[in-house]
Amino acid sequence: MFRGLHAATSGMMAYNRQQQVLTNNLSNAVTPGYKSDTTAFRSFPQQLIEKLGNGNLNGLSGSLAGTMSVGTYAQEAIPNFSQGILKETKNSTDFALQSSFLPLDPATNQKGALVFAVETVNGDIRYTQNGQLQVNQEGFLVTAQGEQVLNSNQQPIRLNSMDFQVDGRGRLTVAGEPGPTLWIGYTSDPKSLVKEGSGLLRYEGEEANSPQLAANAPLINAADTLLMQGFLEQSNVDLSKVMTDMLRTYRGFESNQKVLQAYDQSMQKAVTEIGRV
């Protein structure tokens, strides 16, 4: 009986975690460059059930009856790195990475991802796909949260004029003069990019697949267009799917709750009625 209580409770906790992930997706439906998360459910290790033979309660030599799961849990939220719809803004500080045009990696048969490199206030290097940038009072190109955008030498980009253009390879032209080049990185393993909040990503995979300068990536170093100026990549959240999943998650939580209530009533009956006998 207590195994059933544990299974129902773990189910409620797993659905609650999934609802939190879906709510976060919903709240970021209009965040540029946001990648929706999918919850991965895992089952606790199953227990073997053994049937005692010939009514011998002292022996454990019976045949195997099967396995029994003791519950489930939400292990992690996996980002979906498919590209969102591009929206034209005509703003010179808006940039959209062109990840959807990347070729398949022959080693994994999957597409990689393009990212910008930024430097946090702590001096750490992080990545982002949010191209909604701006120029601060000191003339540095920064994200909406103030992280400095880096050039191909991983140095902050400082603009002396708002009259600038960026070509498809990230090369800047400032007031008609050649300027720095945006650091546009490529990784063949986007699933190892971990969200840190505010659109920032850190890489936790194998070093060989970590984001490298796209110009040095043999698979895409000949690509003409890696980004578009005056465009923004929209969130890839599918609102209709999120709403459907939220309803399904609520029903799953409710079902486990009813099971828990049924166990509670059974235990109460056992204490108040069977105990008298």
Three-state helix/strand/coil letters over the chain: CHHHHHHHHHHHHHHHHHHHHHHHHHHCCCCCCCCCEEEEEEECCCEEEECCCCCCCCCCCCCEEEEECCCEEEEEEEECCCCCCEEECCCCCEEEECHHHCCEECCCCEECEEEEEEECCCCCEEEECCCEEEECCCCEEEECCCCEEEECCCCECECCCCCEEECCCCEEEECCEEEEEECEEEECCHHHEEEEECCEEEECCCHHHCCEEHHHCCCCCCCCCCEEECEEECCCCCHHHHHHHHHHHHHHHHHHHHHHHHHHHHHHHHHHCHHHC
pLDDT at 131 over 50: yes
Do 63 and 231 contact (CB within 8 A), yes or no? no
pLDDT at 7 over 60: yes
Q: What is the pLDDT of residue 140?
A: 93
Q: What is the pLDDT of residue 5?
A: 77
- Looking at residues 142-161, what average pLDDT do you find? 92
Which is higher by pLDDT, 224 or 82?
82
State if pTM tops 0.85.
no
pLDDT at 50 over 90: no
What are 202's two structure tokens?
A: 């850190």
Q: Is the dihedral of CA 124, 130, 136, 141 positive or negative?
A: positive
Q: What is the tens place of the pLDDT at every residue in 236-258?
A: 999 999 999 999 999 998 988 88
Which is higher by pLDDT, 73 or 198?
198
Q: What is the largest CA-CA distance in the chain?
A: 95
Q: What is the tens place of the pLDDT at every residue in 53-102?
A: 554 545 555 565 566 666 787 877 888 999 999 999 999 999 999 988 88
Do 117 and 187 contact (CB within 8 A), yes or no? no
Break the chain into its structural domains and give their ranges: 2-80+238-276, 86-233
pLDDT at 108 over 90: no
CA proximity to 194, closest of 186, 185, 204: 204
- Per-residue b/e over 250-260, b at no fewer than 16 CB within 10 Å? eebbeebeebb
Q: What is the pLDDT of residue 180?
A: 92
**% of the chain exceeding 70 in pLDDT:** 87
Do 184 and 116 contact (CB within 8 A), yes or no? yes
